[in-house]
Amino acid sequence: MNEAELARWRRVSDLFDELAELDAAERSARLEALQREDAALARELRALLDADAADCGVLDRGVQALAPTIVEALAQPEAEIPDTPAPVAIGRFRLVRLLGRGGMGEVYLAESTQGDFVQQVALKLLKRGMDSDEILRRFVQERRILAQLNHAHIAGLVDGGVSAEGRPYYAMEYVAGEPLTEYARSRGLTPRERVQLMVLICDAVAHAQSRLVVHRDLKPSNILVDGDGQPRVLDFGIAKILSDSAEDGLTRTGARALSPAYAAPEQIRGEPVSTATDVYALGAVLYELLCGRLPHRRSAAALEDGDTDTTVERPSQVLRRASVEEATATYGRRGGDRDRAAREIGGDLDTIVLAALKREPERRYVNANALGADLRRWLEGRTISARADTATYRLRRFVRRHRFGVLAGSAMLLFLVVSLGLALWQAAIARAERNRATEQAAVATAVSNFLTEDVIRSANPYRSKLDMSVTQALMQARGSVAQRFAAQPRTEGAVRRALAESLALAGERAPALEEARAAHAVLAARFGERDADTLLSRAVLGRLLQAVEENEARRVYEEGLNYAGAAPDDPARLRYTLGLASLDVELRKEDQALQSLAAIEPAVRRIFGDGSDEHFDLLNHRMRAYANTDRYEQTLVVAREALQLARQHFGADDPRALEWLQREGIALRLLDRHEEALVPVQKTLAIAEARLGPEHPATLYAHLQVGIVLMELKRYEEAGPHIDPIVEYDRRAKVSGDNPLTHKVYQARQRQYTGRVDEARRIFEEINSQARTVLGAGSAQALPYAQTLGMFLMQTGSHAEAETLQRKIIADSEKALTPGHVNTAKYAFDLAENLSAQPDRAADLLAVLETWLPKWEQFFGDKDSRVIDGRKWQQEAKQRLALDGSAAK
């Protein structure tokens, strides 16, 4: 390129980036303006945009369709490309040294020559002769794709452009590390530690896949592990155009570009790739990481004959048969423990790896996120979603491969009868499904029209004479439902169900419950209790009842199980089981709840999907169960898993993602990591205020979480303005349930810690009284609020009042909770702490410790502060009694 051509290409590149981000109308207007200014330029930009929009990229076409210009360039003798001295600088980078040279370019270690700090990058420079229009067009498209990737475990794109000589280049983040398999061997990592690395790698690949980027060449040499043990995935997207080394195992045959050892069968056959293609490569990498060899022994010849081996031996079996020398080559100094490693890999981990390596893409994990989720389940000892092949499945595959032989051995008459019956049966199912789909579409349209015309229009001041809120519009719309849908019971049920859920979200619990009851009643009367819509309305009713009447909610769920389908993965049965598990958490039956949730999780994810409300409900119930039983590390794991899932499905600023960001802060607070916790809760508050406004309940709750963390950091005066607004909102809006009680507890503590003791006592006493009224005197739900009053009395010197209340709490807890429940032990600790502060109560303290100290040791462990304090109090009490005895003599 001469200087003029180079300048023009740079302008085309910049304009393409600008136009690609515009919507269709803005892009058209901009192109028309450019057409008047420079018609040739506008035509070239239109061609680039058409190429970008069409399925013409390497990601969109089979490997057979790689650009002929690339193949021609690779085929040129090296002598035809003049050897020029290496440049000293490219763009803003100074070249330090050559890292490698391949058939299409060179890779240099380079440093930024701008700014006050040194930034090292791996700069990949396209070789002369590889700058055809086709390659340059794809280069621009790839640069835009790579710029979207921003993940801690991806070596990201730093910069890109065209050198002064007209040669395109990429500057990628430079990673100083070892290839994945070499790192694992040199550090002697266990199978579990290797899987932990793979989970992070899956996260990185899932991030790219969520942005429609498929790597296509994942292998250990493209995954480096740095000195801190953090994996980094290299060459996202670039491998589709550039190859950095002629010796990296990359085979080019028939215009294909892939590494056959890690390539999926569809890649070898030259078929289009998908997210499942990367899953196969991840499975191959994990296989090699676990047992030291690849799942297939392919060669370059496999690309010519389409060989895509179908049999893969289990990694545990490979490792079990390996010699000590082979195991040492894989696990380093741990090679002698190969049998132990094989036992650890055997079972579910074997199944996960083989599921990722299925020959058919549709039978693998759908994407890297799904594979990573199953690996996490294995690490946590939970049930995985993958299942090993069954005899039934193998028989079905055999019949499919040999159908003519099987059919020839069947009696023709029986075949005809069965076929005819099957055809009639399928036709009946098809008609029923078609009718059901038509009816559901009509119902959905009716619900949408009702909400648009009767609710949204009423709340629009330009269409209505009244200026009302959406909540008021919902309340007003209730009156027209019965008359408007009198002859359409299924539509009436759906509309009332939508009203119930909307009113509940608006905080109107009583009318929401009325609509939920009406929805269930009208559907049950017309279609029966086993109808799918009736079952769904029952689930909504149960969920709304949980906030006000737990016993009735349990009855609704348990009756529903009698009407739901018998199959374990029946949608209604799963919803009711989720509801019952949530009630078990509320009733402090956490272990029972966790068992139920673990049993249904695979079915919930399979039937409803990873991003469904049901799946997030399950994660929320699990997190609450862990938090209630002081398993705070697991609480944080669940919060972060759900946060990542919500961000992937809905976006980082979506309210559902914000909810889980807030819960991450809560989990960090429970772990006493308060400085860390302040970051997510403050971020949640900032986004909520910007999106929802300062008075929205979600914003007020975000304020509360900031206030709680500030209290933990002993910044009590700062906490007050964050806590008081939600207490005032609860009072003004007459919010029911136990949430307002919890909010007032934090307000009372803030008053106590800022010296307003009388005001704090008044609030604590109000809380205890309201809890007994709202939640039931002596109930498991009311006891924690009584506990807060007892702690306040003890801390302010009213030991006798505190003791009376604490002994009553223990007695009520033993009646309300299951025998030996951990919460009863916690309440007993409060009593012991109170007695320990009174030197004259040593004998009473020893009596309490004799009963409860062994239980604290059992529940909390020797290193827990409660156990340490209990032992110290026991020793001190014995010393006091000994001194008192000596004095008496």
Residue length of the chain: 889
Most confident by average pLDDT, 44-53, 380-389, 748-757: 748-757
Q: How far apart are CA 2 and CA 248, in angstroms?
A: 34
Residue 340 lies in a domain: yes
**Residue with more model confidence, 138 or 239:** 138
Domain that holds residue 868: 822-889
Nearest CA-CA partner of 86 in 63, 104, 107, 72: 107
Residue 577 in contact with residue 567, Cβ under 8 Å? Answer: no
Residues whose CB is less than 8 angstroms from the CB of residue 472 and which lie 6 or more positions away in sequence, other chains included:
458, 459
Residue 841 CB neighbours (<10 A): 18
H/E stretch holding 378? helix 368-380
Beta partners for residue 122, in sequence order:
109, 172
For residue 557, which amino acid is it?
A: Y
Distance (Å, whole) CA 580 – CA 556: 10
Tell me the sheet residues that pair with 107.
Answer: 100, 124
CB 762, CB 777: distance < 8 Å: no
Q: What is the pLDDT of residues 77-133, one digit of tens each?
A: 333 334 445 678 888 888 988 887 765 678 889 998 666 667 888 888 887 766 566
State the pLDDT at residue 252: 35
What are 804's two structure tokens? 């009376």
- pLDDT mean over 323-348: 81
For residue 678, being part of any structural domain is answered with no
Q: Is the pLDDT of residue 70 over 50?
A: no
Given the residues 52, 159, 217, 235, select the one marked as catalytic.
217
> pLDDT (tens digit, 9 = 90+) per residue, 836-855?
999 899 999 999 999 999 99
Exposure b/e, 696-722, CB count within 10 A at least 16 = b: ebbbbbbbbbbbbbbbbeeebeebbeb
Lowest mean pLDDT among 170-179, 404-413, 599-608, 647-656: 404-413
326 and 197 in a common domain = yes
pLDDT of 244 above 70? no
**Cβ-Cβ contacts under 8 Å for 664 (sequence gap 6 or more):** 636, 639, 640, 643, 680
Q: Pick from 128, 149, 173: which residue ends a domain?
A: 173
For residues 243 and 878, give the distance between their C-alpha atoms in angstroms, rounded to a whole number. Answer: 77
Per-residue pLDDT at 328 exceeds 60: yes
The residue ranking higher by pLDDT, 388 or 644, is 644
pLDDT value of residue 301: 46
- Whether 307 sits among the annotated catalytic residues: the reply is no
How many other CB atoms are there within 10 angstroms of residue 631's CB atom? 17
> 186: domain CATH number?
1.10.510.10
Q: What is the pLDDT of residues 762-787, one digit of tens each?
A: 999 999 999 888 888 888 888 999 99
pLDDT in tens, 439-448: 455 554 544 4
Measured distance between the N- and C-terminal CA atoms of the chain, rounded to whole angstroms = 109
pLDDT category at 139 given cuts 50, 70, 90 is low
Tell me, yes or no, whether 196 and 168 share the same domain.
no
Report pLDDT for 125: 84
What contacts 294, CB < 8 A, 6 or more positions away? 261, 262, 284, 287, 288
82 occurs within a structural domain: yes
- Output the pLDDT for position 876: 92
Is the confidence at residue 717, as pLDDT, over 90? yes
pLDDT of residue 427: 46
Residue 482 and residue 492 in contact, taking contact as beta carbons nearer than 8 Å = yes
176 forms beta bridges with none
Asked whether 871 and 856 are in contact (CB, 8 A), the reply is no
Same domain, 157 and 246: no
For 655-694, write each residue's pLDDT tens digit: 778 888 888 988 898 888 989 889 998 988 888 888 778 8
Q: Tell me what the pLDDT averaged over the chain comes to.
A: 77
Of 28-37, 137-146, 164-173, 835-844, which range is least confident?
A: 137-146
The amino acid occupying position 719 is A
Higher-confidence residue of 16 and 369: namely 369
Same-domain pairing of 225 and 365: yes
Phi and psi (nearest 5°) for 159?
-165, 170
User: Is residue 209 domain-resident?
Assistant: yes
Q: Taking 90 as the threshold, does the pLDDT of residue 790 lie above it?
A: yes
Higher-confidence residue of 298 and 283: namely 283
Within a domain: residue 450? Answer: yes
Residue 124 in marked binding region: yes
Query: In this predicted model, what pLDDT tens digit does every residue of 272-289 receive, in sequence order?
Result: 888 889 999 999 999 999
Q: Are 250 and 207 contained in the same domain?
A: yes
Contacts by 339-343, CB closer than 8 A, 24 or more apart: 341/190, 341/191, 342/316, 342/317, 343/316
- Angle 773-778-779 from CA coordinates, rounded to 5°: 80
Instruction: Using the 3D structure, point to which of 345, 369, 398 is the last residue of a domain.
Output: 398
For position 425, what pLDDT does the model report?
Answer: 40
- Range of lowest pLDDT (163-172, 429-438, 717-726): 429-438
**pLDDT confidence of residue 647:** 85
Q: Does residue 828 register a pLDDT over 90?
A: yes
pLDDT score of 820 more than 50: yes
pLDDT above 70 coverage of the chain, percent = 73
One domain, residues 225 and 110: no
Q: Are 380 and 475 members of one domain?
A: no
Q: CB atoms < 10 A from the CB of 406, how many? A: 12
User: In this structure, are 292 and 186 located in the same domain?
Assistant: yes
The pLDDT assigned to 166 comes to 77
- Give the whole-angstrom CA distance, residue 546 versus residue 583: 7
Q: Is the per-residue pLDDT at 194 higher than 70?
A: yes
Report the pLDDT averaged over residues 738-760: 92
Position 124 in a domain? yes
Q: Which residue has the higher pLDDT, 379 or 47?
A: 379
Per-residue pLDDT, averaged over 200-212, amounts to 85
Res 405 pLDDT > 60:
no
Joined tokens for residue 230: 């953090």
Q: Taking the alpha carbons of 594, 596, 602, 607 in that order, is the dihedral positive or negative?
A: negative
- How crowded is the C-beta side of 162, counted as CA atoms within 13 Å? 25
Considering the domain architecture, whether residues 237 and 358 belong to the same structural domain is answered as: yes
Query: In the prediction, which pLDDT does 53 show?
Result: 57
Assess whether pLDDT exceeds 50 at residue 180: yes
Q: Which two tokens stand for residue 829?
A: 């600790």
pLDDT level of residue 231 (50, 70, 90 thresholds): very high
Q: Is 763 inside a domain boundary?
A: no
Domain annotation covers residue 623: no
Assign residue 53 the CATH number of its domain.
3.30.200.20
- C-alpha–C-alpha distance, residues 787 and 802, integer Å: 9
For every residue of 391-441, DSSP letters joined together read HHHHHHHHHHHTHHHHHHTS-HHHHHHHHHHHHHHHHHHHHHHHHHHHHHH
Res 74: pLDDT: 34
State which of 529, 563, 597 marks the end of a domain.
563
pLDDT at 129: 65
Q: Between 738 and 223, name the one with better pLDDT.
A: 223
- Total tally of structural domains belonging to the chain: 4
Q: Which has more pLDDT, 3 or 821?
A: 821
- Percentage of the chain surpassing pLDDT 90? 20
Amino acid of residue 72: E
Per the listing, tokens 């919060």 go with 639
Closest by CA position to 354, among listed 311, 308, 417: 311
Cα(147)–Cα(163) distance, integer angstroms? 19
Which residues does 124 contact at the CB level (< 8 Å), separation at least 6?
105, 106, 107, 169, 170, 171, 172, 238, 242, 244
CA distances for 359 relative to 282, 308, 310, angstroms: 14, 8, 6
Amino acid type, 136: L
pLDDT, residue 847, reads 94
pLDDT at 451 over 60: no
Digit-coded pLDDT (tens) for 489-522: 787 778 788 877 777 766 677 787 888 888 888 8
What does pTM read for this prediction?
0.43
Half-sphere exposure of 649 (CA within 13 A, CB side): 20
Are 182 and 90 found together in one domain? Answer: no
Q: What is the tens place of the pLDDT at every residue in 16-50? A: 766 766 667 777 877 888 887 888 788 877 877 76
Asked if pLDDT for residue 248 goes beyond 50, the answer is: no
Q: Tell me the angle at which helices 632-650 and 655-670 cross, rounded to the nearest 10 degrees.
A: 160
182 and 157 co-located in one domain: no
Same domain, 166 and 188: no
